[in-house]
């Protein structure tokens, strides 16, 4: 895990330079703790994609701290804001498990890395001692099942797939039956990428969810929405729409190393009503790990 923490620090370098660097300039460059400082601070947070609600809340919380502690030195506000951001990142949110087979449905728009996320999750879960199976429910993209089959081999996990164009819900039905027969602990369901404004495709996700609910004791333990960190605030809109179709329980945030606006993590934790559960900071097979808010804050402000 120490190696991943170093990777996290490196992956957050763009955000650190963009957010933390600008915060330092605000605090060190201000002559006094006044309204102009608070306005500039809010602007920096918004540019880092912290989100309107979270940015305003952080500034208001900082006002209260300044008042309570009677702070007058702008330089002293950096540590106070750091603590407020760390608190807003919340707590670690582990994967839910059920009695018997746990089904994790992986959803998201095109191009965010869902199939790769499924594969990396399979590797991670196998290392934890779970018997994992994969369901290739993306039957629209020609190479999707083949790509997932490669991850099946890498992780040592069985895969259930059908012909291109098959009903995704039927694939999931077969996969659940097979997973139960082979006494698997976890079934990871890869789904086709879909635009969140396409009603028919979102309805298809609802159909898959109904199949899972019918065939398992308590439905999917997790619906993990994969988001690309480089999309910034658009991620919040994706969360809202996908939650309506699939009741998202957690977020997988990929490509955090590719953006200077990693503040979107704060926005998601504050506004999305679905916690970040995994974070990706690179393309390596072990660069997807459980999201640890404390480690994230330490890496960001180190």
Average pLDDT, whole number, for the chain? 88
Give yes or no for residue 258 having a pLDDT over 90. no
| Model confidence at 2: pLDDT above 60 | no
Return the minimum-mean-pLDDT range out of 6-15, 47-56, 151-160, 219-228.
6-15
Q: Span 155-177, mean pLDDT?
A: 94
Q: What is the model's pTM?
A: 0.89
Specify the pLDDT at position 16.
78
Could you tell me what percent of the chain has a pLDDT over 90?
A: 46
Question: Looking at residue 123, what is its pLDDT?
Answer: 94
- pLDDT surpassing 60 at residue 262: yes
> With contact defined as beta carbons under 8 Å apart, do 291 and 266 qualify?
no
Given a cut of 80, is residue 47 above it in pLDDT?
Answer: yes
pLDDT digits (tens, 9 = 90+) for 197-219: 566 777 888 889 889 989 987 66
Residues 75-118: pLDDT tens digits? Answer: 999 889 988 988 888 888 889 876 789 999 999 998 888 999 99
With beta carbons less than 8 A apart as the criterion, state whether 291 and 17 touch.
no
Nearest to residue 154, comparing CAs of 132, 128, 184?
132
Q: Max alpha carbon distance in the chain (Å)?
A: 69
Tell me what pLDDT residue 291 has: 92
Greater model confidence, 14 or 254 = 254
What pLDDT, on a 0 to 100 scale, did the predictor assign at position 68?
96
pLDDT value of residue 24: 86
Q: Choose between 259 and 285: higher pLDDT.
A: 285
Burial class from Cβ neighbours inside 10 Å (0-12, 13-18, 19+) for residue 188 reads buried
pLDDT attached to residue 86: 87
- Contact status, residue 143 vs residue 151, Cβ threshold 8 Å: no
Instruction: Kindly list the distances between the CA atom of residue 160 and the CA atoms of 168, 261, 273, in Å, as whole numbers in the listed order.
Output: 11, 38, 32
């Amino acid at each position: 895990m120490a190696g991943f923490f170093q990777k996290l620090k490196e992956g957050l370098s763009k955000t650190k330079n963009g957010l933390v660097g600008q915060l330092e300039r605000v605090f060190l460059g201000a002559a006094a703790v006044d309204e102009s400082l608070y306005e500039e601070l809010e602007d920096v947070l918004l540019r880092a994609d912290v989100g309107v609600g979270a940015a305003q809340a952080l500034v208001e919380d900082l006002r209260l701290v300044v008042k309570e502690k009677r702070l007058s030195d702008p330089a002293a506000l950096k540590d106070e804001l750091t603590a407020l951001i760390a608190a807003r990142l919340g707590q670690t949110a582990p994967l839910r498990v059920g009695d018997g087979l746990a089904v994790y449905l992986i959803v998201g728009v095109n191009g965010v890395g869902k199939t790769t996320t499924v594969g990396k999750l399979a590797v991670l879960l196998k290392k934890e001692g779970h018997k994992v199976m994969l369901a290739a429910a993306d039957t629209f993209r020609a190479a999707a099942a083949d790509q997932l089959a490669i991850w099946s081999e890498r992780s040592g996990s069985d895969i259930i797939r059908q012909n291109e164009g098959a009903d995704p819900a039927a694939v999931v039905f077969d996969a659940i039956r097979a997973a139960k027969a082979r006494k698997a602990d976890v079934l990871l369901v890869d789904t086709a990428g879909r635009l969140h404004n396409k009603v028919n495709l979102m309805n298809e996700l609802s159909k898959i969810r109904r199949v899972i609910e019918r065939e398992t004791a308590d439905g999917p333990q997790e619906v993990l929405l994969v988001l690309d960190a480089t999309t910034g605030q658009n991620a919040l809109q994706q969360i809202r729409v996908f939650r309506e179709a699939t009741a998202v329980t957690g977020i997988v945030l990929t490509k955090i190393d590719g953006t200077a606006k990693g503040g979107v993590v704060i926005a998601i934790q504050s506004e999305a009503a679905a916690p970040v559960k995994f974070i990706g900071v690179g393309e390596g097979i072990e660069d997807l790990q459980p999201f640890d808010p404390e480690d994230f804050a330490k890496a960001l402000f180190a």
